[in-house]
Structure 1
């Protein structure tokens, strides 16, 4: 609980912190001056680190992207015609712009659940805010720093988008940039203000957690509309609704108008966007000083953990830190107390526990359904093409399918996060991990069978066999990836120099993503061979046999990897 500080400062303090009077004991200027003096060497070193990072990014971008850039500019100089692509982009632009900006708004709201615009370093939270200083002077600069960085990034993206619109022949370079300017300035500032509101208000954080799945469904529908509009299936009513549905649509109207679309109310939309941005910044400026110290302390620890493990490529550790922050953060929901009858056989205990885990965290099955719907939509779109387009669609659908089945295999990952948790099990660790593949394999196959029904109704009954057959090796892949162990950073340095540089990062990526690369690669080759000509019973049976053999191989290597987790020398 918080209260206003006496003396009219209107600053919020934690209940366990003693109140102080700004008039009697204000040491803000003194503390900040002393801190700046002590941090001079640290700031110089940090500036050098940032300079080296920028230099490395520019060098890598120039080395790997320079050839493509030169070829692209040469094509422009020679008068390469991109009008066909421009027509697709022009048709999809209202839905595409709305999709991108709405997705960024959702990301900003979700980011505020664990970090937010105001993230004070842990030393400052632990030392500076415990002194008699004005919280607004300490916290508000972080809000405006986040706003400035977001706006600068958006302006850079706007410059790139203006070049793309110019190359596609949809607008002049100056006209495209002026049309993108309201979105580039207002939308990032609005996102920061929205993040500040979520960070400060527990009720709003609870709202974001509860309705994020619905927002993802809306984004999926927008993605479908974008794909349909790109191929000429546009809906003028839907596009006008989107253009007036909120700031994402208001910001799109100048761009739509500059590229030849219909947006007669763009001046009013820009005025509404500017007014809403100003109101959001004013509110965010006020909220920045009202975040409790305990919450700032939790967020600082989470941000420090995530940044440190990202440098060591431990993505799982970063996810665990975010899960812990979500469980302890504002608006965190309660765990559902669902019960199932206990099995009589010990061989069903792992299945029973995995089912309980999924029922008590319904977000995981919902996430699996969402990604499965995306995979089904991409597959339906991909089979309509031929050649390279069909291969790309097939690979994308398989990757999305793996992500869907992998969402059901979270208990296996939790088991390997700390192998000491397996002390309850009457089985060897390798047997325990193999049993964790049962639930994602069965549920994934059932969901894939449900997703295959529309294909069967449309005259493609082979999907009733092939789609569930792909779900089973994906479950084995998820268990293999969970048993992989900590990141082997020594693979990043191979010592072999090539014209493209050291091949170590490629080796590390191949090790890190070995399971998905193998399963998606094998299934992609098999399915492409089946779909290249009319599928028959023989080819479908061969594909099912290959999927079964792939599952067996992945489970074999998953068992070996599980043994190495508990006995590193094996």
Structure 2
């Protein structure tokens, strides 16, 4: 019996492999001592700059929020609605964060090796666990630390809205954020382990995961729009995403204190389980996945350094599985001017994710305008949400800009093509806004501010077209001037990238109108149309310059 209970000794081959691994890693540590010291100094400098900037910009804002909360200036119907919706909103947010971290592992997982290790260490007879497990630990610590800090700040801000004492809200927020960060990293390692096998061949798994997140967001939206209801007692117990939200909801007084401590215990059990599974998966990641993701990470990093966001997105898109494309095909148009809208509509029907996300953002814009007694800052969020809906619908124009050969045989100049690319997005956005307004009226949430949505469509679509035709960042913008806060080149390049929505949304926001809480009048409806005309002209000019430059 004692012999059966004694674990078997390692074989000679395992002992030899462990010895070789220790020798190789010891040699590598000695050779990389200088480089490792430089990395430590760089990390220390990064942490110093982060703490300094947070102390300069973040701490005063947090102190101001705390004082405003103590004076009662942040209290009101919106704050009460937000706090009462925590039991349904927090699980949806946590599930979304974890799923985003896991989805990123399809092209860049937590376990990432540098080129030298891939070329020299990976083919050698060394134990894979000793090589990969430290990467998993480092990624887990980094992500968990960042998520903990973000959660602590969120908890402190909820305290300013009236969610218990500051130390309890901050601690609960840190625990909630840290749980999401570590669980997301561990799940991402599992995804990285299987991303090249059954996960790539079974798209229904990803669709089912996003369906669960969508189901979680439904009661959250209802709670934010209508107030407390029965789902607030069910969502926190619906799974690990709800258990992690229980401590913060308990501090806010939305669930009993015993439920908060139960959430801590259940979350700890989940973290132990997923942490062990992630560590086991890290040691079994295939070499081909490590090589592929290392190359993708380098291409994305190079694109981000040059602020070429489209190139980075193309590198990520190349790693996605190429499933069977939809064979949807609209009837061929009988008139020549309908050719471009026909192509755009066909492209959107063959990529149903774009119209679906456009519907989500359009619904968010409608919901924001339906909020009663909402502050101006909340109502102004209608503009960016509406722009995001339009940006989803102009994807065919963006694809044509990336590859100008798609339209080289068409007889129209670039300016005319750009305007015709805006017909389908404008019609689609009008339809989505009309359906949203009808749903709001049917639910008894009608607001006269919804009348401004059709007038916003030309400006939103025009801003999206300017972004679609913006092209590559000019080299001269990358060469900025040195200031005490650093080089101005990256900031200028980022402003250039976002110049379309910045100008359009800025012009729409500065004039009193329904999106600022004012009464619906002729001026509030005519000004967005004027901005839309200007954005349409700008989109044509931008398209002509971009195509001519290529």
Q: Tell me which interval the TM-score lies in, with the shorter structure as reference length.
A: 0.7 to 0.9
Contact 1:483–1:561 (CA under 8 A) maintained in structure 2: yes
How far apart, in 2, do the equivalents of 1:65 and 1:544 lie? 38
**How big is the shift at 1:111?**
1.8
Counterpart of 2:471 in structure 1 is 485
Shift of 1:145: 1.7
With over 3 angstroms needed to count, the CA separation of the structure-2 counterparts of 1:502 and 1:178, relative to structure 1, is closer
Secondary structure class of the residue paired with 1:416: helix
Aligned CA-pair RMSD = 3.7
What residue in structure 2 maps to residue 209 of structure 1?
206
Q: Which residue of 2 aligns with 1:373?
A: 363
Q: CA deviation at 1:29?
A: 3.0
Which residue in 2 is equivalent to 1:56? Answer: 49
TM-score relative to the length of structure 2: 0.83
2:326 paired residue among 336, 352, 359:
336
CA shift in 2, pair 1:395/1:268, >3 Å = closer
Work out whether 1:347 is the aligned partner of 2:337: yes
Residue among 525, 545, 549 paired with 1:564: 545
Residue 377 of structure 1 and its aligned partner are, at CA, apart by 1.0
1:162 CA drift (Å): 5.5
Q: Secondary structure at the match of 1:567?
A: helix
Determine if contact 1:309/1:315 at 8 Å carries over to the other structure: yes
Taking a change above 3 Å as real, the CA distance of residues 432 and 67 of structure 1, as seen in their structure-2 partners, is same
Distance 1:377 1:426, change over 3 A: same
Partner residue in 2 for 1:311: 305
Matched, 1:521 2:506: yes
Q: Aligned runs of 1:112-191 on 2, under 5 Å? A: 112-161=105-154, 163-164=156-157, 170-172=163-165, 175-176=168-169, 179=172, 183=176, 185-191=178-184
| CA drift at 1:404 | 0.6
Match of residue 438 from structure 1: 423
Count of aligned pairs = 532
Cα distance between partner residues in 2 of 1:272 and 1:179: 14
Of 402, 411, 418, which aligns to 1:417? 402
Aligned residue runs from structure 1 range 185-264, under 5 A: 185-201=178-194, 202-204=197-199, 206-211=203-208, 213-228=210-225, 233-235=227-229, 237-263=230-256, 264=258
Q: Do the aligned residues in 2 keep the contact of 1:480 with 1:515 (CA within 8 Å)?
A: yes
| Cα distance in 1 for residues equivalent to 2:123 and 2:340 | 48
The C-alpha deviation readout for 1:417-445, integer Å capped at 9, x for no partner, is 23344434343333333322222122222
The separation in 1 between residues aligned to 2:68 and 2:416, in whole angstroms, is 58
Superposition deviation, residue 33 in structure 1: 3.1
SS at match of 1:326: coil
Q: 2:288 aligns with which of 294, 303, 308?
A: 294
User: How far is 1:276 from its partner?
Assistant: 2.4
**Shift in Å at residue 157 of structure 1?**
3.7
Taking a change above 3 Å as real, the CA distance of residues 148 and 380 of structure 1, as seen in their structure-2 partners, is same
Structure 1's 298 and 450: CA in aligned 2 closer, same or farther, altered over 3 A?
Answer: same
Could you tell which deviates more after superposition, 544-553 or 48-57? 544-553
Q: Does 2:455 correspond to 1:469?
A: yes
Distance 1:431 1:81, change over 3 A: closer
Equivalent residues in 2 for 1:397-408, closer than 5 Å: 397-408=382-393
Q: CA deviation at 1:266?
A: 4.6
Counterpart residue number, 1:364? 354
8 Å Cα contact 2:149/2:174 also seen in 1: no
Report Cα offsets for 1:29-74 as digits up to 9, x if no partner: 3433333333333323333332333333333333334544565677
| Contact 1:119/1:300, CA 8 A, preserved across alignment | yes
Q: Within 5 Å, give how 1:62-81 maps onto structure 2.
A: 62-65=55-58, 67-68=60-61, 71=64, 80-81=71-72
- Alignment partner, residue 536 of structure 2: 555
Q: Distance in 1 between matches of 2:81 and 2:497?
A: 37
State the Cα deviation string for residues 113-165 of structure 1 (Å, max 9, x = none): 22222222233223321222222222222222222223323333454456456
CA contact (8 A) 1:394 1:524 kept: no
- From 404, 412, 422, the counterpart of 1:427: 412
**Equivalent residue for 1:103?**
96
**Structure 1 pair 531–421 and aligned structure 2 pair: CA distance change class (3 A):** closer
Cα distance change, pair 250–545 in 1 and its aligned pair in 2 (3 A): closer
Contact 1:126/1:297 (<8 A) preserved: no
Contact 1:470 1:547 in 2 (8 A): yes
Tell me how far apart the structure 1 counterparts of residues 262 and 440 of structure 2 sit (CA, whole Å).
45
Matching residue of 1:450? 435
Unaligned runs of 5+ in 1: 1-7, 11-20
The correspondence for 1:84, drawn from 75, 79, 98, is 75
Aligned twin of 2:272: 278
Work out whether residues 370 and 447 of structure 2, in 8 Å CA contact, stay in contact via their aligned partners in 1.
no
Structure 2 gap segments, 5+ residues each = 1-7
CA 1:318–1:212 in structure 2 vs 1: closer, same or farther (change >3 Å)? farther
- Per the TM alignment, residue 363 of structure 1 is displaced from its structure 2 partner at its CA by 0.8
CA distance in 2, matches of 1:69, 1:459: 34
- Partner SS for 2:370: helix
